[in-house]
């Protein structure tokens, strides 16, 4: 088993178009984004690649995305991860973000040559199966105001089911807050008792597009 964790760039594909899940954080705060970028971009390259690839999120950008691999000795990520964080605010997967936060956004002072060599081998190895998702029946909802549409909602929510260790099945309800972070909500339960929300179920891809648009409209730039 590899000593490294290799994080993918994208989460899903719609036809031929890769995209980021609505579960992936969009980092609005410019200072936080700058700290993450400093860490990710500052790690040593273990595989260098000449040339650039197209940006599938913006074909007009042309050949823009770097394709090398970097490591901090624990995680391996592609340079594309840095590109998408810088240009679109897309954070790497949550476990990697938590790892960076736990390290105080500070890279190791130096990595041994054998660590870099092992990381290069791991980057080229077949991708490991992702950890099983404990969530079931994940659904996304647009909170549509009167006269509005699901494509331009007043808010986004999500639900999923999870089984606790004692066998109890629970439903988790969350809303996307103004900082574009998912947090628990009672809005669904309140609505069932006569609330005024109009929750319209939407595809994951549409939820992703809405979050990307909100980030583009609201992010602060400090990176």
| pLDDT tens string 121-146 | 999 888 766 666 778 889 999 999 87
Same domain, 119 and 214: no
Domain residues for the domain of 202 are 136-218
194 pLDDT higher than 60? no
Same domain, 97 and 164: no
Q: Is residue 131 part of a domain?
A: no
The Cα 215–Cα 222 span in angstroms is: 14
* C-beta separation of 212 from 87 below 8 A: no
Chain segment 17-62, per-residue pLDDT in tens: 899 999 999 999 999 999 999 999 999 999 988 889 999 999 898 8
Secondary structure (3-state) at 37:
helix
Q: Is residue 223 part of a domain?
A: no
* pTM to 2 decimal places: 0.88
- Please state, for a pLDDT cut of 70, what percent of the chain lies above it: 93
Of 124, 149, 184, the domain-final residue: 124
Same domain, 203 and 168: yes
Q: Is residue 199 part of a domain?
A: yes
The Cα 145–Cα 198 span in angstroms is: 7
CA geometry: angle 30, 35, 222, nearest 5 deg = 25
Of 71, 104, 124, the domain-final residue: 124
């Amino acid at each position: 088993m590899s000593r490294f964790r290799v994080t993918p760039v994208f989460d899903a594909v719609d036809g031929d178009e890769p995209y980021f899940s609505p579960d992936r954080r969009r980092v609005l705060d410019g200072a936080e984004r700058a700290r993450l970028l400093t860490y990710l971009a500052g790690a040593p390259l273990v595989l260098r690649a000449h040339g650039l690839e197209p940006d599938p999120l913006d074909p007009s950008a042309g050949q823009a995305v770097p394709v090398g691999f970097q490591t901090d000795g624990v995680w391996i990520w592609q340079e594309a991860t840095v590109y998408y964080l810088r240009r679109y605010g897309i954070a790497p997967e949550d476990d990697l973000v938590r790892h960076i936060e736990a390290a105080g956004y500070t890279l190791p002072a130096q990595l041994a040559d054998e660590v870099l060599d092992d990381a290069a081998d791991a980057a080229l190895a077949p991708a490991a199966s992702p950890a099983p998702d404990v969530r079931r029946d994940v659904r996304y909802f647009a909170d549509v105001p009167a006269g509005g549409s699901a494509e331009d909602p007043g808010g986004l929510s999500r639900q999923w089911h999870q089984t606790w260790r004692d066998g109890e099945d629970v439903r988790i309800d969350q809303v996307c807050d103004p900082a574009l972070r998912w947090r628990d909500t009672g809005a669904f339960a309140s609505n069932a008792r006569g609330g005024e929300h109009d929750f319209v179920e939407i595809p994951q891809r549409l939820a992703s597009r809405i979050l990307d648009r909100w980030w583009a409209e609201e992010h602060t730039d400090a990176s």
